[in-house]
């Protein structure tokens, strides 16, 4: 049965059918315009683990969503589906997370990485495993792109975005809209080259990424400040403090959103770390930070980009925690983004 036949028998106003795919939709991955790739991975999370369970939390809480979206009505009819969560990746995450935790505890005790050969070997193993995962994701995304489908990464920690960014960069040039509490511009963190704190360093050094616009940043180190300063033509950072200062002094959020979106090229990739939101919206995320944007702030920002005619060529939603509230909020952001991606690529 093809999509048109399935739509004849599907009631979009009915009860979300949990035997169907994400959002209760009746589509298979092979027939969908947009495919979510869940990556249950939190190997390098440094505060508290749990974001590996984010994809499952999103999936389980997606069935309560009503499918009507006034901004992108009927986009779901093009087909939206999520791959099954890979048990091999989940198992590998559990195994390697134990090793990374040993490294993290060792370094947090004040010891030096080079002073312990065993810890150095563990670090190398973590780096090799993470590098392999990025290559696997990149190959999978390239296959979807070749099939004319839109891949969308669902994390997992922020490191998992790199495979899709690299796959898209092989096809065309684009800018990245990063919603995040952290700059994620470290070369490596705690010895981990594919740390969640290094994803934008890798993106910055990916040929094909022409611009990075960061929104909501409110916690970063001196190394990252220097990187942003040295790359001021490529990286534009809208710090959380400055954004709120502008609003407190009377500037409306809509005007600020236009200022942000004007810094981006026509083709954009959205990397959405949920810790860019206020912590109340993402209580289970790995590294929550006080401050941040409200749900409505980010929805208006994304809507501004969509209404400005930006083409959403790819996206990820990462760092979702395992709690029900995490899944409820993230699934709604996911649905809105998916619709905008489908419509902007028509």
Confidence of residue 22 (pLDDT cuts 50, 70, 90): very high
Name the CA radius of gyration of the chain, rounded: 19
Average pLDDT, the chain: 94
Instruction: Describe the crossing of helices 253-261 and 295-307 by its angle, rounded to 10 degrees.
Output: 50
136 or 112, greater pLDDT: 136
The separation between CA 15 and the C-alpha centre of its own chain, rounded to angstroms, equals 28
Whether the per-residue pLDDT at 16 is higher than 90: the answer is no
Whether the per-residue pLDDT at 5 is higher than 90: the answer is no
Q: Which of 113, 103, 317 is nearest to 195 (CA)?
A: 103
CA-to-CA separations, 81 to 89, 226, 309, 313, in angstroms, rounded: 19, 41, 25, 17
| Dihedral sign (CA 111, 321, 269, 132) | positive
| Average pLDDT of the segment spanning 166-173 | 97
The CA-based angle 51-84-285, given to 5 degrees, is 10
Confidence at residue 191, expressed as pLDDT on a 0 to 100 scale: 78
Whether the per-residue pLDDT at 162 is higher than 90: the answer is yes
* Token pair of 198 as six digits: 């290094």
Distance CA 73, CA 58 (A): 21
Whether the per-residue pLDDT at 255 is higher than 80: the answer is yes
Whether the per-residue pLDDT at 231 is higher than 80: the answer is yes
Cβ-contact 175, 211 below 8 angstroms: yes
Would you call 104 helix, strand, or coil by DSSP? helix
Confidence at residue 111, expressed as pLDDT on a 0 to 100 scale: 83
Q: Which of 299, 274, 296 is nearest to 54 (CA)?
A: 274
Cβ-contact 36, 81 below 8 angstroms: yes
Whether the per-residue pLDDT at 238 is higher than 90: the answer is yes
Confidence at residue 101, expressed as pLDDT on a 0 to 100 scale: 87
Distance CA 150, CA 153 (A): 10
Per-residue pLDDT of 216-226, as tens digits, reads 999 999 999 99
Confidence at residue 1, expressed as pLDDT on a 0 to 100 scale: 62
Residue 191 φ then ψ, to 5°: 85, -5
The separation between CA 165 and the C-alpha centre of its own chain, rounded to angstroms, equals 11
Task: Give the whole-number percent of the chain exceeding pLDDT 70.
Answer: 100
| Average pLDDT of the segment spanning 188-195 | 83
Cβ-contact 159, 271 below 8 angstroms: no
Distance CA 328, CA 333 (A): 9
Confidence at residue 72, expressed as pLDDT on a 0 to 100 scale: 94
Domain at 3-344: CATH code: 3.40.800.10
Per-residue pLDDT of 115-156, as tens digits, reads 788 989 999 998 999 999 999 999 999 999 999 999 999 999
* Token pair of 83 as six digits: 């791959």
Confidence of residue 276 (pLDDT cuts 50, 70, 90): very high
pTM, entire model: 0.95
């Amino acid at each position: 049965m093809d999509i048109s036949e399935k739509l004849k028998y599907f009631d979009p106003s009915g009860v979300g059918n949990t035997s169907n795919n994400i959002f209760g939709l009746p589509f298979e991955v092979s027939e969908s315009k947009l495919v979510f790739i869940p990556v249950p991975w939190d190997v390098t999370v440094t505060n508290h683990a749990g974001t590996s369970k984010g994809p499952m939390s999103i999936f389980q809480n997606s069935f309560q969503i009503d499918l009507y979206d006034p901004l992108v009505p009927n986009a779901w009819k093009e087909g939206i589906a999520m791959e099954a969560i890979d048990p091999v990746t989940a198992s590998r995450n559990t195994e390697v997370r134990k090793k990374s935790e040993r490294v993290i505890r060792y370094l947090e005790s004040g010891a030096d990485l080079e002073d312990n050969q065993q810890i150095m070997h563990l670090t190398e193993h973590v780096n090799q495993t993470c590098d392999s995962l990025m290559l696997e994701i990149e190959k999978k995304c390239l296959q979807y792109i070749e099939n004319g489908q839109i891949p969308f990464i669902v994390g997992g920690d922020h490191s998992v975005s790199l495979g899709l960014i690299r796959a898209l960069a092989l096809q065309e040039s684009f800018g990245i809209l990063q919603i995040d509490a952290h700059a994620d511009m470290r070369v490596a963190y705690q010895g981990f080259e594919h740390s969640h704190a290094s994803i934008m360093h890798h993106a910055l050094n990916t040929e094909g990424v022409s611009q990075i616009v960061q929104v909501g940043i409110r916690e970063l180190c001196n190394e990252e400040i220097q990187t942003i300063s040295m790359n001021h033509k490529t990286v534009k950072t809208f710090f959380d403090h400055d954004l709120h200062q502008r609003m407190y002094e009377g500037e409306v959020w809509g005007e600020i959103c236009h200022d942000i979106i004007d810094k981006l090229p026509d083709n954009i990739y959205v990397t959405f770390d949920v810790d860019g939101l206020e912590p109340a919206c993402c209580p289970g995320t790995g590294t929550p930070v006080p401050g941040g944007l409200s749900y409505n702030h980010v929805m208006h920002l994304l809507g501004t980009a969509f209404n400005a005619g930006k083409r959403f060529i790819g996206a990820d939603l990462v760092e979702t925690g395992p709690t029900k509230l995490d899944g409820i909020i993230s699934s709604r952001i996911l649905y809105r983004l998916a619709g905008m991606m489908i419509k902007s690529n028509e």
